[in-house]
Amino acid sequence: MDWKDRGRSGDLEDRRGESVGGLGGGGGLPFMLLSMVASKFGLGGIVVLLLVMFFFRGNFLSLMGGGSSGAPTSASRPVTDPAEEPKVRFVSFVLDDAQQTWERIFQERGLQYPHAHLVLFRDAVRSGCGVAQAETGPFYCPADQKAYIDLGFYDELRNRFGADGDFAQAYVLAHEIGHHVQDVLGTERKVRQAMENNPSERNADSVKLELQADCFAGVWGHSTEQRKLINEADIAGALNAASAIGDDRIQHMSGREVSPESFTHGSSQQRQMWFKRGLDSGSIEACNTFAQ
């Protein structure tokens, strides 16, 4: 990907110098946490929790012990880690470029696009949707309109899932910005309400929401292709990344039986298909996963 180092984005929040203390609580905390996520944080919190507990097998609840204040404290590594600075500059470029693209698309429709913020964290973070560990992977929280990423995820993407390259990494962030677009358009709220009204379709609705975010990532990709910032090899890398984090592949890699009814993000084939649809069309209208 032909990207330019333009410094750090003004929409970037670097919180790698903070760690999250425990929240305290007793034996009833898991049930309380699930209830809180379902009732208060809706889709964003539910998707995050499912990712941690099912796909990445992260010990989300372990963050709830070991303290009572829950206040951020200083981490052992400085926020300005020189080894991570190139990644910081890269995600800053992707963040700004993607949001400039969405500004233009919204303006063409007579709409305003409020920017999302991107929060960089290390190991664990407190968001408007609750506390999450790095094992959660990148996520978007509609409660505070921020995307979150531990830059170490890109190492996991390469080493565990075999997806490497700048544009593969860019796809991941563009997907989270796609969730912000859904939030701004009101799609996330409608889907959350539908999930509450019909819990039996919760997973199916989640898949549609995630696939639309993939398609929106492709819409931004279309813009980069038009500007000759990417080539066929970059596109192949992004498609590989989309395939690598499909529900079926993650379940298989985790030694579980592939269970389509438990999918929350879509199969590898679906994720590739919808990203490619957005990439080819550059159109929001082409991303109506809910009509399928």
pLDDT, residue 292, reads 64
Tell me, yes or no, whether 1 lies in a domain.
no
User: By residue range, what is the domain housing residue 130?
Assistant: 12-291
Tell me, yes or no, whether 215 lies in a domain.
yes
Sign of the C-alpha dihedral computed for residues 195, 219, 144 and 124 taken in this order? positive
CA distances from 195 to 44, 118, 192, 249, 258 (A): 12, 27, 5, 25, 23
Give the Cα separation of 251 and 269 in Å (integer). Answer: 14
pLDDT, residue 80, reads 65
Task: Indicate the number of domains in the chain.
Answer: 1
- Tell me the per-residue pLDDT of 69-109, one tens digit each, with 9 for 90 and over: 333 443 445 566 788 999 999 999 999 999 999 999 999 99
Flag residues of the chain having pLDDT under 50: 23-42, 44-76
Which candidate, 284, 291, 154, places its Cα nearest to that of 223? 284
Tell me, yes or no, whether 107 lies in a domain.
yes
What pTM did the predictor assign?
0.81
pLDDT, residue 163, reads 86
Which candidate, 208, 142, 151, places its Cα nearest to that of 181? 142
List the structure tokens of 165: 């390259």
Tell me, yes or no, whether 137 lies in a domain.
yes
Give the Cα separation of 177 and 55 in Å (integer). Answer: 21
pLDDT, residue 82, reads 87
Tell me, yes or no, whether 2 lies in a domain.
no
